[in-house]
Chain A
Amino acid sequence: MGDILLKIEDLAVSYTTDNEKVRAVNGINIIVEKGETVGLVGETGAGKTTIAKAILRLIPTPPGKIERGRIIFEDKDLLKISEHEIRKVRGNEISMIFQDPMTSLNPVITVGNQIAEGIRIHQKVSKAKAEILAGEMLEMVGIPLERFNEYPHQFSGGMKQRVVIAIALACNPKLLIADEPTTALDVTIQAQVLELMLKLKEDFNTAMIMITHDLGVVAEICDKVAIVYAGQIVEFGTVKEVFKNTAHPYTKGLFAAIPSISGQKLKRLHHIPGLMPDPTNLPLGCQFSPRCNCKLECCDELPSEDIYINENHFLKCHLYAQKQKEG
């Protein structure tokens, strides 16, 4: 049990458009320890990006609204501190990298200067010193120093993402939030970038929240994983626990739906019937029950609560709770 770096308590976020209320996040609890990598896995619309943006207060309010919850980072509640203070946190203590490297970089500023800019905002150093530090970051992500003064369009997708990582890590943040950082990249390039992230994680001991829909990436790089569904965490635990001891029907469904690369080839993939519920009209009981094939009577009426399998693994499921009681 290491030191707790970030603690999200009962976070709920909604968006109001016209007369509809989209409940994007509905009461989630996450703990990230120092140096640990937590994966947030879920499909489109599950709410993962909203959670990430909420941490850095990047959600526009209107139309967004933080309904309730606390995000405790080093004894501060990030949702309550002033705008001035949160700006000191962004890019400095908590950094974020986004999915599309093509649009994350400013096309009219050289890559070196983009890194240096980040350094100068948060550290009191001269322009010259910032440039030296930026150059070191470039080399650390595997880009030759000679390319300091080149512009983003002169780099390929994979290299652009490395620059984005360099900018994010330039101030040695304690926590890095990565929103699908390799989804837009080719497989072999993705492998390079993931290797880089692993290495940097070790060198800097940065904690990371890795948002992805790819369970393979989670297996590679994460220590713990949270499965997000309809704005809730339906299963959470160490990667080993969740992957080998999968408990929630949705998680099981996800694993079964992936065609395997090793192992036996199935004739037909298992698929989870139906779609994720409409976030403007969430079901009363367990969010997954309309699609679940092993549900009990109470599942449609009672919202499910966190059930602990062991200290490294919990999930939200009535059926499991019942099985546990029966012993």
Chain B
Amino acid sequence: MSKLLKVEKIKKHFKTSRGLLHAVDGVSFELEEGKTVGIVGESGCGKSTLGRTVINLIPATDGKVIFQGKNITSAKGKILNNVRRDMQMIFQDPFSSLNPRMTVSEIIREPLVTHRIKFGKKEIEEEIDYLMETVGLAPRLYNAYPHELDGGRRQRIGIARALALNPKFIVCDEPVSALDVSIQAQILNLMQDLQEEKKIAYMFITHDLSVVRHMSDEIIVMYLGVVVEKCLAEKLFKRQFHPYTKALLSAIPNPDIDVKKNRIILKDEIASPIDPGLECRFAARCNYATEKCFKETPYLRSIEDYHFVACHYAESL
């Protein structure tokens, strides 16, 4: 099966008054139709910036994004317009990602009208009805305003909006982080159903390892703009090689009270990715760091069958 999306060494740097901020520093992955790649990391790791760079909401500083065989990196004009139909995004905050002055139907109508997907008032209305039904929004909410609805319903509106253009790829930026547990389960199930039915590929960005485990086929762990570990989803939970991944996994409070707690506590806090040098970005917090770690950049390398780590000492830890 040919790859739907290929991201090659994508970089995004921001100029700040204190120096050059390396938000994303060389991330690569491939994605097939109907599959999900999970991007995991804490705040400041660059995962949201990565998502926005891949779908061209912000232009990449370097690297390539190849979608369906075409290079769409930093596309503009007509090409960008076509890209928009195939690559969409679901946002994190169900409060601020919807225009408070537009009703549910107006929000869903907008992409249809902008791209002239359907013509004629009747066809457009039918399409809106269909989309609302697909995401589980009751017909009586047609003229409701976002502030009248709860987080779960608002997120469904966001999903309907993303689906309106029939995209093949959707970046999901922490789509369930702001939702309660039971609503979260509803939305995750919905997203899975949509993926099965329409063969949509997801780039699922989250900080929640249990959610990413549930949704992803492949997982990429990011730290300060670089990939520290990459492998198939289940493999990551069976065995982790990078000290950060291990710490991340051990840090999650586990509701299963039978599982023994073996918490790895890291030193200090996440540093800022401004003008980083050659050192391993995790070295300052790592319990195993040696002199080498502060001098040489550990590049992502294969340690097992389709399991990549960026650590000098991955085998021995």
Contacts and interface: CB of A to CB of B under 8 A. Distances in A.
- A contacts B directly (C-beta below 8 A): yes
Interface of A: 43-44, 156, 158-159, 186-192, 194-195, 213-220, 239-240, 243-244, 253-255, 257-263, 265-266, 268-273, 275
A186 B207 contact: yes
Interface stretch (B73-81, B251-259, B309-317): B251-259
B251 A260 contact: no
B255 A255 contact: yes
Contacts of A191: 250-251, 253, 263, 265
A195 B209 CA distance: 20
Given A186-B207, A187-B42, A269-B189, A220 B253 contact: yes
Nearest to B234: A265
24 contacts: A186-B43, A186-B207, A186-B270, A187-B248, A190-B253, A191-B253, A214-B253, A219-B253, A219-B255, A220-B254, A220-B261, A244-B257, A255-B255, A257-B182, A259-B188, A259-B211, A259-B213, A260-B210, A262-B237, A262-B259, A265-B234, A269-B189, A271-B185, A272-B185
A257 B252 contact: no
Nearest to A158: B269
A159 B181 contact: no
B257 A187 contact: no
Interface of B: 42-43, 150-152, 180-186, 188-189, 192, 207, 209-211, 213-214, 234, 237, 247-257, 259, 261, 263, 265-266, 269-270
Contact of A257 (B184, B207, B237): B184
A187 B252 contact: yes
A103 B9 CA distance: 38
A190 B251 contact: yes
Nearest to A189: B269
Main secondary structure of the interface of B (DSSP, over half): helix
Contact of A261 (B150, B152, B180, B210): B210
A43 B181 contact: yes
A257 to B, nearest CB: 4
Q: Which of B152, B184, B207, B254 neighbours the largest number of chain A CB atoms within 10 Å of its CB?
A: B254
Nearest to B186: A271
A13 B29 CA distance: 53
- By CB atoms of chain A within 10 A, which of B181, B185, B247, B251 has the most? B181
B261 A188 contact: no
A102 to B, nearest CB: 12
B254 A187 contact: no
B245 to A, nearest CB: 11
A219 B261 CA distance: 10
Given A187-B251, A216-B253, A263-B256, A254 B209 contact: no
A271 B190 CA distance: 11
Given A156-B269, A195-B263, A259-B214, 18 more contacts: A44-B151, A187-B248, A189-B269, A190-B251, A191-B263, A214-B253, A216-B254, A216-B255, A219-B253, A219-B257, A240-B257, A258-B185, A259-B210, A260-B213, A261-B249, A263-B256, A268-B189, A275-B150
Contact of B251 (A188, A255, A275): A188
A44 B214 CA distance: 23
A187 B40 CA distance: 11
Contacts of B180: 43-44, 213
Contact of A262 (B150, B184, B186, B256): B256
B59 to A, nearest CB: 28
A274 to B, nearest CB: 9
Nearest to A46: B180
Contacts of A254: 181-182
A260 B188 CA distance: 13
Contacts of A43: 180-183
A240 B256 CA distance: 10
4 closest pairs, A vs B, by CB? Answer: A216-B253, A271-B185, A191-B251, A259-B214
A243 B255 contact: yes
Nearest to B267: A192
B234 A159 contact: no
B234 to A, nearest CB: 7
A265 to B, nearest CB: 6
A217 B253 contact: yes
A269 to B, nearest CB: 4
B79 to A, nearest CB: 37
Contacts of A189: 42, 269
Contacts of A215: 181, 255
Nearest to A159: B269
A43 to B, nearest CB: 4
A122 B182 CA distance: 43
Contacts of A220: 253-254, 261
A186 to B, nearest CB: 4
